[in-house]
Structure 1
Amino acid sequence: MFVPMARRVYRATPNLQYRQRIMLVILLFTLLPVIAAAAVALPLYKHYAYDRFVRVQTEQARKSVDGVERIYQSSIQKLVFLNNNPVLMRMLNEDYRADLAGYLDIANQVNSLMRALESDHTNGAVRVYGLKDSLYSSEYVKRADLLDRRILNDAIGLADNRILSRVTADPLNGDPDLSLFGTIADLGQTVAITEMKVPFDTLYRLFDYDIAYDGFILYASKDKLYPLNAGTAVPAMPPNPARYRIVTFAFNGSEDRFMLYLDRGVMFRQFLKQLIMPVLLLVAFVCAIYFSVKAVSFILTKRLSDLMKRMSMDIRLSKDEAIGNLRIEDEFGLIDRRFQYLVQEIREHYNEMSESRIQQQTLEAELLQVHLNPHFLYNTLSAIKWSFPDERLASVVDSLVSYYRIFLNKGQSRLSLQRELEMVRNYLDIQKFAYQSDFAYDIEAAPDVLQQPVIKNMVQPIVENAILHGINGLEGGGRIRIRAFRAQEGCRIVIEDNGVGMSEEQLRRLTDMAPAHGEGEAAAMPGGYGIYNIRQRLALYYGAGASVDVRSEPGAGTTVTLTIPEAP
């Protein structure tokens, strides 16, 4: 694409000097990416600027909304307290028409309670609307027929401890109030409706600031919008959504929400003002490119062809031949010489690193295997078995012999999955005998994976972690389950226990542990070294196709999944 374009430029400018043609081509190829980048960056910058505009206003509005939510949650707590107050419950349930003195006494207690709740509330009011016909009305306790019929019906249908929020009008001046309604129930029957009223003047004070970009905030109730920052002009309701950028704030426990409106036209004009400096910088950058290309084309014309010839020298030459044939005349000759020298050095370092890596992998694979003298161990275990004729002891000695016979595996680093699971079964029997533990275990393996070659001693460290750090923390009833089956990625082995599990922090450290952390950090974590060892061995033998996945929850046990690809 670029070569034909350059040729067309050459043919279209026959009267220009060669140096001028070079400058024109370089300038064209330099400016095209700049123009393309500017075309891509402009919408992105606009989006970023708009988001920044909105983010600043949203953060300010969020503080006010959080203040409203604190008032809202405080009111809900008071309603819940009121709905479960035994004194108020007794006043609503009992008939005081024959006991006026008793009514006056309990009414004083209720009035004291209401005044205490109102004194802790910002200009709020507390009311109780009783459904009982024999109820006397007082300063704070009213009859339910004074309540709006729609609110009464909605409140009666509330579930336990649910709150109904409505915007109501103040009976004295008609100003809006945010009213929260709850219910008092006795034996499943609603006996009263409680109301906590928050004047909108309280909300106005929280939003008493100017919003940029001709913005304003509305409180959206179930069926109406209410402006909250009275100092800002609000257009006709409802505002046109195409004209404004709208940010919605919800708060817990209510279907109502706050809506921040920012004028898109004002934001666009502000964006244009901020665009002046980037445009000036772009123009300066283009000018700098022009003069730089002009200077470079003049400098490179004379020596560029010679330099390209020298840099295209056959790098298969030896270092002495390639560098010995050079003549150092100026800076371009020095660059050419150093380029050839660098090529040779990179080749030598690459060969050294490849050999070192192969040796390191081989050494690590050998160091991860444990070598013991099997004859001494077998003879000792047999002597113990025959010296102490006990059926349980004989069984555990047989398990030990079988375990170490499979573990040593005649010095081989791999064995079949069937023998690996048999070794784990022996290990579990030994652990049950050694710790007198009552845990149970279950090993299941699909027939098609039993002959899968695996690296030796891969499952036992995980089972050991499940015992030591999992079910040993239980008082009883521990269980370990091992399953092996064929998956799409290869053979999958799942080890599950119902032990104490791990916290999120422990699991994160164990999951994020990389080889660079080393054995020191792995050993400092419960069960960390075993997982570290297995990951290292799987990576050495199978590469990226193998994996170790650990999942755990406190009190819910731990599940470790090994994925092993087909043998390399």
Structure 2
Amino acid sequence: MIGKLSYRHKIAAIIFVFAFLPMIILGSLMIQKVWSAKVQEIINKNDIQLTSSVNGINSLLSSNMDKLMAINNNFYIFNYLDTKTDQNLVGVMNFSDYLQSVINAMKSDNRDVNFQIYAIEDTNYDGDYLRSIQNLENVRGTNGISLKDEILQYDDSQILWKYRTIKAQFSDAESNFLFGYKKIMSLGKPLAIIELQIPIQQITDFFTYEIPEGSYIVYEVDGKKQWVIGEEEETIPEGDSAGDDYYIIDKELKPGIGDISMFVPKSLVFEGLKGYLITVLVIFIFLIGILFVTVEMVSYFLTKKLEALFRKMNTNVESLISSDSFVPFEETEDEFGKMGRIFYELTMRIKEYYRKITDYELEKTVLETQLLQERFNPHFLYNTLSTFRWIYNDPKVHEVVDSMVKYYRIALNKGSSIITIEQETEMIREYLRLQMFAYGNDFDYDIHIEEDTGQQLVLKNLLQPIVENAFLHGISGRESGGLITIRVSTNDDNETIRFEIADNGLGMGPEKIKRILEGAEESKYSGYGMKNVRNRMETYYGSGYGLEIESEPGRGTKVILTTPSNYSADRMDAKAISA
């Protein structure tokens, strides 16, 4: 999409993006900061209210816990329950009056709170504040056991808290209470259970203030909701969804009593910042509009001269070169003026070069016509050699002519640069025969091709420079007994072909081998041929293949070539052209 825009609009787009990104980043940081501040404000405000309510609840609970412990530590009550020595009617009436006065004193500041004592053993008395333990046996506790058994199994030093719903004495109305139970112990044996009754209404009265819309307060004991303020319990989300949609403020009541949590919807932040966000959005759109107009104007003035230059350049090469009315661009000292002058000078030079090239092409056409008329015909060579063969009825002449014909027939190969290994070695064989005839040397050669390797393809004339060097260096210096061996085989990996050309000549040292491979040897044994072979192999076969020389003074020389196996003809022809 951007690639289809004009250069001016590309510049405008780039400027716009780089100006727009800082605005986005700064705007995002500013909104995030304001958002975080608003969140903290909402949380802090509700945390203060919730903390105040929880402190009030804890104060109420602490006051009644102190009263419960006062009853638990009352010696007269403890002695009455433990000794049972004063169980006559007068004693029972006296204890009843005493217990009533004690309980009334405990309830003097809060008449809605109540205390009960449930005696484990029968006390011949069941009044308003001292009752039989049978009353707790009929109440179901946790895990299916009775409330009495649950209390007796609880820690002796701790208060067991229970949330219960009970009916009124003379009606079907139900009320919710927070109950606290504490055992009165004597020598490890329970004497009675003290019950503290606190109406839930007294606890919820601490939350009479207005809570945020959509918020709610939950009282939980052991992870179970006991009551909710602000929402219907069925509509409250559970699990992760609550944390995703609400800010949660947790407060702990007295140990063992439970937790109170306030859930404040996160949507309140957006509602509180709606006006601010709308203002920011309007300003942002306004700034984008101003930025867009500014960028367009800047890009227009930046590219105005460039577009003028391009309009003059926007023509085909032939028209530009052939036109005689081409005039220089407007002379200015900025970059566009320099570009115009350079383009004008370049156009003038191209026009001059074009005229010269036209003259060269004409001369080239004439020369090619002449060359076609005098082109060398290989058949002329074959026919001439055949004429020599029939004129001179000499077996050696016949042998030389036959070798030359075979050599050149393979070497020319209809212009192809790719031949089989069998053809390459056949050409080498004919070359060595011609050398034996030309120099009269007494030497021998041995060519061996591994089975199924002869039809592999190879670059033409790859071995000839190496064999020539082996003959000139190793064999021509010997009076007799010279030997050149050529071995062609497939390596164990079946991925490469190995060529070995060895002679039993004078050999050479490491320094001379290095100079030959680098093409720096200027002796009769020139390194140029070796270097040329290496370059052709590197260009044609790529890395991993090449040429090595193994030699020692007086012990002959071995040259090893490695080429890939099973190359296709199409692939080889394409690379052979460049090689």
Superposed pair shares fold, TM > 0.5: no
The structure with more radius of gyration:
2
The alignment's TM-score, normalised by the length of structure 1, stands at 0.44
